[in-house]
């Protein structure tokens, strides 16, 4: 990988080599990060188009390394997955997000559901659903204010167990979202067998106003199909008003993206919720 300068690591380097000292350094740094509380959650609003208000937020991991600076999740999550570090990190994310949601409730802010990304490894933990239930109970959070996001590809390793976890969580009231829909090998027959409340259309499939009619047809077909399966639909990566209006005209339920807001620290999100309540 490319050197940026002395003692600096190019965190945007490409695929790992068999022996990659930078990757190893990053793995060790990540262990340290978990111990030293260098990890933080930011929150990106999810806006309901019919209600015109924030109904949820997605919790997104941020890592601020003391000397390397900000390291993007696309760089460190894969390493965390391979090394198994994603399990303690994922636990930390769940606990932090649940406590945050409970704090917001106690502060009297309008109810927002906090959605957490799960990883394949977490779904392989036999006690995942039970642990989440315990976290909810100890924080005193209504399970309906928690969501989990999973992708189809991460369910494959142990489909039956993954579905059991999702069903157990859903029975508690936790919302289940299918993330990055439309990428990878989506199988429609599969979708019927999954306990899913919300489909998140990947931003690569979210058309803008200049998109060819065929692109819009695909989006519209996904929305129609989801509604027939009694699922709601969220479009990701919405960056302009035109996209939002187009999606609204096709009965898309929710949007998320820079047009509403990027992911922001908890305090900034709180201010947004306060403003929306007071206006």
Binding site for ligand C2E (CB under 6 A): 44, 60-61, 72-74, 77, 90, 93, 117, 119, 179-180, 203, 237-239, 257-258, 263
Q: Is 253 in the site for Ca ion (CB under 5 A)?
A: no
Q: Is 117 in the site for Ca ion (CB under 5 A)?
A: yes
Selection from ligand C2E, Ca ion, none that 253 binds (CB < 5 to 8 A by kind) is none
Which tokens is 269 given? 């999100």
Selection from Ca ion, ligand C2E, none that 239 binds (CB < 5 to 8 A by kind) is ligand C2E
Q: Give how far the C-alpha of residue 230 lies from the chain's centroid of Cα atoms, to the nearest Å.
A: 21
User: 253 near 232, Cβ under 8 Å?
Assistant: yes
- Where b means 16+ CB within 10 Å and e means fewer, 202-228 reads bbebbbeeebeeeebeebbebbeebee
Which residue, 12 or 106, is less far from ligand C2E as judged by CB? 12
**Ramachandran quadrant class, 108 (left: phi over 0; alpha: psi -120 to 50; beta: rest):** left
Position with the least CB separation from ligand C2E: 257
Q: Report how far apart, in Å, the C-alpha atoms of 52 and of each of 17, 118, 227, 248, 250 are.
A: 47, 28, 20, 11, 16
Looking at 61-69, 100-108, 178-186, 216-224, which segment touches Ca ion (CB under 5 A)?
178-186
Q: Is 81 in the site for Ca ion (CB under 5 A)?
A: no
Selection from Ca ion, ligand C2E, none that 152 binds (CB < 5 to 8 A by kind) is none
Contact residues: Ca ion, CB under 5 A? 117, 149, 179-180
């Amino acid at each position: 990988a490319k050197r940026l300068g002395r003692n600096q690591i190019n965190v945007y380097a490409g695929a790992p080599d068999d022996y990659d000292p930078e990757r190893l350094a990053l793995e060790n740094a990540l262990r340290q990060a978990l111990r030293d509380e260098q990890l933080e959650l930011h929150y990106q609003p999810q806006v309901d188009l019919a209600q015109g208000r924030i109904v949820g937020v997605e919790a997104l991991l941020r890592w601020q390394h003391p000397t390397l600076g900000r390291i993007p999740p696309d760089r460190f999550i894969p390493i965390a997955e391979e090394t198994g570090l994603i399990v303690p990190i994922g636990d930390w994310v769940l606990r932090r997000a649940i406590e945050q949601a409970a704090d917001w409730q106690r502060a009297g802010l309008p109810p927002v559901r906090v959605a957490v990304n799960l990883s394949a490894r977490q779904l392989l933990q036999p006690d995942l659903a039970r642990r989440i239930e315990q976290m909810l109970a100890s924080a005193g959070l209504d399970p309906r204010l928690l969501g989990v996001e999973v992708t189809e590809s991460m369910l494959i390793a142990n489909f039956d167990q993954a579905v059991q976890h999702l069903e157990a969580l859903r029975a508690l009231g936790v919302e289940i979202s299918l993330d990055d829909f439309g990428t990878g090998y989506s199988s429609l027959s599969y979708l019927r067998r999954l306990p899913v409340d919300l489909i998140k259309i990947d931003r690569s499939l979210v058309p803008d106003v200049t998109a060819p009619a065929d692109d819009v047809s695909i989006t519209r077909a996904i929305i129609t199909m989801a509604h027939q399966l009694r699922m709601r639909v969220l479009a990701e990566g919405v960056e302009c008003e035109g996209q939002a209006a187009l999606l609204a005209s096709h009965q898309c339920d929710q949007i998320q993206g820079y047009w509403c807001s990027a992911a922001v620290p908890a305090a900034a999100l709180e201010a947004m919720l306060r403003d929306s309540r007071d206006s």
